[in-house]
Amino acid sequence: MLSRIVVFASGTGSNYKKIKESIDNKKINGKIVLLISNNPNCEAVKFSRLNNIDYEIINDYRYKDEKNKNNQYQLVLKTYKTDLILLAGFMKKIPDNIIKIYKNKIMNIHPSLLPEYGGKGYYGSNVHNAVIKNRNKFTGATVHFVDENYDKGPIVMQKKIKINSLDTSESISKKVLKIEHEIYSKAVEAFCSKKIIINESKVIINE
């Protein structure tokens, strides 16, 4: 049975595209059934159209009332019989009602070695600039489950890379994105193959 995956994305959706590629190459026992976005003009929506993947736009313009917007998330996810939610550059906080219903079924990729450089305001170049400012020798990426607090959920997988003295925010971004693509697909594969066990907020992956 294929796991039914819903992706949330607001921008280019590069991780979304890589996971779709891994699915097409039979590396993940899942199917992307829907994209949810707050940005109707983003690359992720265009990619969905090109690949005949359903998409739903949920944003403040369409749903001015917060409660109605949160209920729409819940309705759409239920309609698509969602097994796993993947955040791929989604620039909005996931509502608490969705986190509660899909506990340990929402994954996110973060461009640092959590718990370092996590929390509100730490995204994209903000993370990489902080790494450079603090003269860290290593950085990396983290896949984690999403809970009510930014970047605090159980860590599923991490990979680190070395930083050299010539690195800039842009060069670090490229290196980190490369390993994001690698470990996010691996984490999704583990979930879809039912290899993940959570024991007291600690993630164990059975090989």
Active site residues: 110
CA 96 to chain centre: 17
> Could you tell me whether strands 202-205 and 196-199 are parallel, antiparallel, or unpaired per DSSP bridges?
antiparallel
Rounded CA separation 111/109 (Å): 7
DSSP classification of residue 189: H
Q: How far are the Cα atoms of 113, 146, 151, 167, 183 from residue 155, in angstroms, in the given order?
A: 10, 9, 9, 27, 12
CA 144, chain centre distance (Å):
8
